[in-house]
Amino acid sequence: MNDEATHRDFKNRLYEQFARVGKAIASPARIEFLELLAQGERTVDSLAKETGLSLANASQHLIALREAGLVLSRKAGLSVHYRLADPSVFELTRAMRIVAERRLAEIDRLVAEHFVGRADSEAVSFEDLLAKARSGEVVVLDTRPAHEYEAGHIEGAVSAPVDALQARLRTLPKSKEYVAYCRGPYCVYADQAVELLRANGRTAHRLQDGYPEWKAAGLPVETV
């Protein structure tokens, strides 16, 4: 085989491996699984319940992700737990999201329809939150489920799952300012929390992005 043919064979085999990753994430369910796993380790059962898939279907999607090297698994008793294989996996999904946001007008329409009244200009940036937190001006609320908070959260944040926030209002002084965050820019928990807090006389804003983006930026995080 001559040098040109050898190089062509190398390129064909190389891009075939790259395509394995593309094929693995060419599924809405698998992309959502990766987003959920960016919050922390999850069992197959919990992923299936949250996404409305059967256990068998969820398992098949997760196996495809594992075979492409995107997730890792471990057994604990009768349960199988999955986690992202590497921080670069989250970066891959974020890069895909950014390209889609820039190139697909349908995303703007979907977001506008779903998040009626959301004003991006009111969202707090990471830089602003850091400054406010250091000065003690704000209380940061993690509105995700408690198990996601325990797996990792913004340093100093208070666990306040949105479905339990109404019951906790008495413990949240009206004199404070609140910044709520959740899983990412398309997670509804932070928006719901802000709406509830404002309706009950609190000053509240949502964080521009979520916990995975904060962690990927190398900003302070902690676990329980």
What's the token pair of residue 27?
A: 């599924």
* 182 included as an active-site residue: yes
Residue that the structure tokens 């698994």 belong to: 73
Task: Give dist(CA 190, CA 202) in Å, integer.
Answer: 14
The kind and range of the H/E element at 178 are: strand 177-181
Q: Cα(first)–Cα(last) distance of the chain, in Å?
A: 58
Reduced to 3 states, what is the DSSP secondary structure of residue 43? strand
Kindly provide the b/e burial profile for residues 14-37, where b requires at least 16 CB atoms within 10 angstroms of the residue's own CB.
Answer: eeeeeeeeeebbeeebbbbbbbbb
Reduced to 3 states, what is the DSSP secondary structure of residue 74? strand
Reduced to 3 states, what is the DSSP secondary structure of residue 27? coil
Give the active site residue among 182, 187, 190, 193: 182
Catalytic residues: 182
